[in-house]
Amino acid sequence: MLKGKTAVVTGGSRGIGKAICLKFAENGADIAFLYAGNTAAAEETLKELESLGVKAKAYQCNVSDADAAAEVLREITKDFGGIQILVNNAGITKDKLVPMMKAADFDAVIDTNLKGTFYMIKGVYPLFLKQKSGKIINISSVSGLNGNAGQANYSASKAGVVGLTKSVAKELASRGICCNAIAPGFIATDMTETFTGNDALKDAIPMKRFGTPEDVAKLALFLASDESDYITGEVIRIDGGMAM
Amino acid sequence: MVFEKIAAMLAEKLECDAADIKPETEFGTLGIDSLDVMELLMNLEEAFGTEIEMGENKINTVSDLVTLIESKLD
């Protein structure tokens, strides 16, 4: 489905990002993924990608640094000869109730989750404009749609991603470039391991199970492929019915 | 030289005569939107081998664009 295309995935060494990298590679895409600092996880993911027979490379980059994001995209463009798909998945949490949440906790989450997404989009924008094609997929969250106690910073960042997605979709729609968001619910990853043992939470999900990174990757594949060419500015929940 | 290049690029895009493009011509009247101007700018960057920071200048007319490019070539 993605043969001949290069995908850039941020936060690609673990969790949902890793599942997206693998799913895209299984479908023929070359993969350039970014990771913040876990070199061991990045090397492991890289090995798995290479075993699928595609070109793959890992780049250590903090997407909340505007210059670093621009530079890494220049590097990837040089290494791979172009970029056709961008997945903004890198995200962090610093969950606290508002009185305990320091300004720095708020800023850090906004910087990575929202501003990082913006910097990456800004970097591929001229490339996509020039080639008159491209797919941008932003990972938001049901927290961004419905709010979540203890996640004022995270939900604000993810709601911001929804607005960003729709604005970029409107800017680029006339050039055949799609920008969509995925809003996952509870997906079993390192980020959510503190509550995946929580049965009460599971009971709140109509499908009575946590999602898997693979569930999200399948949706990302659809949004990255030609199958979704007429879909833009959309936010798709993938949460077992939780946020209905 | 910059003006001629821009006029030629616009004429090609719009399939019109380059002589119809004047410095005072507004992009809006040519049916050129802001994304088209950006694309034009990117093509000019390539043609003149210069980097142009986008976003700071209001570019309404062909002459605005000429001024911007020339300022980068000095």
Q: How do the domains of chain A map onto residue ranges? A: 6-238
Q: Which ranges in chain A belong to alpha helices (H)?
A: 15-26, 39-50, 66-80, 103-109, 116-131, 142-146, 152-172, 199-203, 213-224
The whole-number average pLDDT for the span A192-220 is: 88
A165-181 burial: b if 16+ Cβ within 10 Å, else e: bbebbebbeebebbbbb
For residue A191, pLDDT beyond 80: no
Sheet bearing A85-88, strands edge to edge: A56-60, A30-35, A6-9, A85-88, A134-139, A177-184, A235-238
Asked if B38 lies within 8 A of A126 by C-beta distance, the reply is yes
Domain A6-238, what fold? Rossmann fold (3.40.50)
- Report the candidate in A31, A15, A13, A11 with the shortest Cα–Cα distance to residue A224: A31
Catalytic position from the list A35, A59, A119, A154: A154
Stated pTM of the model: 0.93
Contact list, B33 vs chain A (CB under 8 Å): 174
The interface predicted TM-score of the complex, written ipTM, equals: 0.80
pLDDT of residue A212: 96
Provide the 3-class DSSP secondary structure of residue A88.
strand
Please write the tens of the pLDDT for every residue from B12-32.
988 989 888 999 999 989 888
Cα–Cα distance measured from residue A204 to residue B50, given in angstroms and rounded to the nearest whole number: 57
Instruction: Count CB atoms within 10 A of the CB of residue A220.
Output: 29
Q: In this model, does residue A62 exceed pLDDT 70?
A: yes
Residue in chain B closest to A130 (alpha carbons) equals B39
Cα angle A238, A13, A196 (rounded to 5 degrees) comes to 45
Least confident of A2-16, A170-184, B14-28, B56-70: B56-70
- Measured at the CA of A216, the angle between CA A165 and CA A120, to 5 degrees, comes to 35
Q: Which among A108, A93, A103, A169 is positioned nearest to A138, based on CA atoms? A: A169
Nearest chain B residue to A128 by CA: give it: B39
The Cα A1–Cα A23 span in angstroms is 10
pLDDT at residue A208 above 70?
yes
**CATH classification code of B2-73:** 1.10.1200.10
Is A59 an annotated catalytic residue?
no
Provide the token pair at B46: 């390539």
Please state, for a pLDDT cut of 70, what percent of chain A lies above it: 99
pLDDT, average across residues A106-126: 98
Chain B CB contacts of A174 below 8 Å: 33, 35
B38 touches chain A (CB under 8 A): yes
B39 CA to chain A: closest CA distance, Å?
7
Whether A232 shows a pLDDT value over 80: the answer reads: yes
* Distance, CA of A94 to CA of A110 (rounded, Å): 10
pLDDT tens digits, residue range B30-40?
Answer: 888 889 988 88
Q: What is the pLDDT of residue A229?
A: 98
SS3 A93: coil
φ/ψ of residue A238, rounded to 5 = -140, 90
Are A31 and A25 contacting, i.e. CB atoms less than 8 angstroms apart?
yes
Whole-number pLDDT of residue B71: 85
